[in-house]
């Protein structure tokens, strides 16, 4: 309704709204809105009366008014203050924005709800994605909900649950002997012959708009003033780029009370850190990372089509790109879940290692307010959960004194 046009992120070339778009010269497109018209039609306080889900920001989203969205109930996710964990990390104010509450257990639902709604609106019937994990499950679910076909290509060593959830939702699933970029090539090269639409990260314009709602929601939950620093586990980068786009649109609307945008911290694993490397070298584009290895499957993206958009977003916000240690993943998963009761995904475990590093190096101050995104549910990564080899009690012979260690 308020979309004016689309625009190449590379060179600003304009494209007409209301038609199917992919990329320009192989690089992503921005969706642009008539923000002054939105500012006249909507005030921030109007939102309070709307249902607590991502469609409450309808004016700032690309699906034309009057078109029913494809939805599984994308509720606003909790912003959880973590005082005990903050104290351990030497911070005064720390929140986890817990995206694991979304349908299919990850924030990929935000992007897919939007992209599949737009695809159905445009009459596309067969949708394909490469996926290192959660995107495949999310597409499968939203395609099923919309009555469309889903084709999912995953590296053969993708976490089991991601393969199974996609199968469960009726997707055609293919395992590939390679990494996500190999899966992406298969999807692109099959567009003509197999007749599917490529829903890869940033190769169509609308998953980004769905993920933008993380930024809108965060701003609303912070009463339109933003935290000082945001830690985000970065693979393809849609979430981080989408949030900065959200903050800029809100600033243009005049809704933001804080002057500076949050410093955006790209968090990658030291086993796959193409953006960190490009950031350190001061480059605009990132070279593919050789032999990418990480158990944080969402971060196993050796080459991102939106690399320059991620790097721009980080530099523009005075942010940083940091590599967390692969070896620390299990420790942080255990620490955060046992300290705060929030089961974090391995991607977010990497964020906590980055946070601890910056804190130690003095690049993050104790008084700065910090939000860490938990992008997915720990329960989907059964391979990484603690192994239980517990003794089995006989109900008739329980030695209670032995159960509870003395002194507690």
Binding of ligand PLP at residue 77 (CB under 6 A)? Answer: no
Cβ 164 to ligand PLP, closest distance in Å? 16
Q: Tell me whether strands 14-16 and 3-8 are parallel, antiparallel or unpaired.
A: antiparallel
Cβ 304 to ligand PLP, closest distance in Å? 8
Look-up of token digits 């030291």: 270
**Please, which of residues 116-175 interact with ligand PLP by CB under 6 A?**
133-134
Residue with Cβ nearer ligand PLP (184 or 298): 298
Cα 266 to chain centroid distance, Å, stands at 12
Binding of ligand PLP at residue 268 (CB under 6 A)? Answer: no
| Residues in contact with ligand PLP, shown as a per-residue x/- string from 229 to 248 under the rule CB under 6 A | ----xxxxxxx---------
Binding of ligand PLP at residue 109 (CB under 6 A)? Answer: no
Torsion of CA 196, 201, 204, 205, to 10 degrees: 160
- 179 and 302 Cβ atoms separated by less than 8 Å: yes
Q: Which of 373, 386, 369 has the alpha carbon at shortest distance from 344? A: 373
Q: Tell me whether strands 93-98 and 79-81 are parallel, antiparallel or unpaired.
A: antiparallel
Residue with Cβ nearer ligand PLP (239 or 262): 239
Binding of ligand PLP at residue 201 (CB under 6 A)? Answer: yes
Cβ 242 to ligand PLP, closest distance in Å? 7
Q: Is the dihedral of CA 34, 38, 44, 50 positive or negative?
A: negative
Residue with Cβ nearer ligand PLP (35 or 375): 375
Cβ 390 to ligand PLP, closest distance in Å? 29
Q: Indicate the residue whose CB is closest to ligand PLP.
A: 298
Binding of ligand PLP at residue 286 (CB under 6 A)? Answer: no
DSSP state of 104: G
Site for ligand PLP (CB under 6 A): how many residues? 17
**Please, which of residues 345-404 interact with ligand PLP by CB under 6 A?**
345, 347, 375-376
Q: CA-CA distance, 253 to 217, in Å (whole number)?
A: 15
Residue with Cβ nearer ligand PLP (217 or 347): 347
Strand ranges inside 149-207, DSSP E: 149-155, 172-176, 197-198
Q: Is 206 left (phi over 0), alpha (psi -120 to 50) or beta?
A: alpha
Cβ 266 to ligand PLP, closest distance in Å? 9
Binding of ligand PLP at residue 179 (CB under 6 A)? Answer: no
| Residues in contact with ligand PLP, shown as a per-residue x/- string from 310 to 349 under the rule CB under 6 A | -----------------------------------x-x--
Cβ 133 to ligand PLP, closest distance in Å? 5
- Determine which residue in the list 27, 56, 97, 108 makes contact with ligand PLP, applying CB under 6 A: 108
3-state helix, strand, coil in the chain (%, to 5): 45, 20, 40
Give phi and psi for 363, each to the nearest 5. Answer: -90, -5
Q: Which of 259, 313, 257, 255 has the alpha carbon at shortest distance from 284? A: 313
Kindly state the tokens that stand for 113.
Answer: 């709800």
Q: First CA to last CA across the chain, in angstroms? A: 62
- 133 and 298 Cβ atoms separated by less than 8 Å: yes
Cβ 329 to ligand PLP, closest distance in Å? 12
Residue with Cβ nearer ligand PLP (236 or 262): 236
Residue with Cβ nearer ligand PLP (59 or 181): 181
Kindly state the tokens that stand for 225.
Answer: 């003033």
Cβ 162 to ligand PLP, closest distance in Å? 9
Cβ 250 to ligand PLP, closest distance in Å? 19
**Please, which of residues 10-69 interact with ligand PLP by CB under 6 A?**
none
Q: CA-CA distance, 301 to 276, in Å (whole number)?
A: 12
The 3-state secondary structure of 343-396, one letter per residue: CECHHHHHHHHHHHHHHHCCCCCCCCEEEEEECEEHHHCHHHCCCCCCCCCCCC
Binding of ligand PLP at residue 302 (CB under 6 A)? Answer: no
Give phi and psi for 3, each to the nearest 5. Answer: -70, 130
Binding of ligand PLP at residue 215 (CB under 6 A)? Answer: no
Binding site for ligand PLP (CB under 6 A): 106, 108, 133-134, 201, 233-239, 298, 345, 347, 375-376
């Amino acid at each position: 309704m308020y979309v004016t046009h689309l625009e190449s992120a590379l060179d600003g070339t304009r494209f007409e709204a209301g038609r199917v778009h992919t990329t320009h010269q192989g690089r992503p497109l921005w969706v642009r809105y008539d923000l002054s018209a939105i500012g006249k039609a909507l005030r921030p306080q109007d939102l309070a009366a709307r249902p607590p889900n991502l469609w409450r920001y309808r004016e700032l989203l690309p699906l034309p008014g009057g078109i029913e969205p494809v939805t599984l109930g994308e509720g606003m996710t909790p912003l959880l203050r973590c005082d005990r964990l903050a104290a351990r990390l030497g911070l005064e104010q720390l929140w986890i924005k817990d995206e694991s509450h979304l349908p299919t257990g990850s924030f990929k639902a935000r992007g897919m709800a939007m992209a599949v709604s737009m695809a159905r609106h445009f009459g596309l019937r067969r949708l394909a994605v490469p996926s290192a994990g959660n995107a495949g499950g999310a597409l499968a679910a939203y395609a099923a909900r919309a009555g469309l076909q889903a084709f999912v290509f995953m590296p053969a060593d993708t976490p089991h649950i991601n393969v199974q959830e996609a199968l469960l939702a009726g997707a055609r699933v293919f395992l590939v002997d390679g990494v996500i970029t190999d899966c992406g090539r298969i999807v692109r090269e099959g567009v003509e012959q197999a007749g599917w639409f490529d829903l890869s990260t940033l190769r169509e314009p609308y998953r980004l708009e769905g993920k933008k709602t993380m930024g809108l929601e965060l701003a609303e939950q912070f009463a339109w003033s933003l935290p000082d620093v945001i830690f985000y586990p970065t693979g393809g980068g849609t979430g981080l780029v989408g949030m900065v786009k959200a903050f800029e649109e809100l600033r243009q609307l005049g809704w933001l009370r804080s002057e500076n945008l949050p410093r955006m911290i790209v968090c990658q694993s030291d086993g796959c850190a193409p953006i960190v490397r490009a950031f350190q070298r001061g480059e605009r584009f990132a070279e593919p990372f050789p032999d990418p290895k990480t158990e944080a499957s969402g971060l196993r993206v050796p080459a991102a089509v939106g690399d320059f958009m991620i790097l721009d977003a980080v530099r523009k916000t005075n942010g940083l790109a940091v590599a967390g240690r692969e070896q620390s993943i299990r420790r942080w998963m255990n620490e955060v879940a046992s300290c705060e009761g929030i089961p974090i995904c391995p991607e977010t475990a990497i964020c906590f290692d980055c946070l601890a590093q910056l804190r130690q190096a003095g690049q993050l101050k104790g008084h700065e307010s910090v939000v860490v995104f938990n992008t997915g549910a720990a329960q989907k990564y059964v391979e990484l959960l603690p192994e239980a080899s517990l003794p089995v009690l006989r109900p008739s012979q329980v030695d209670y004194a032995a159960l509870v260690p003395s002194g507690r």
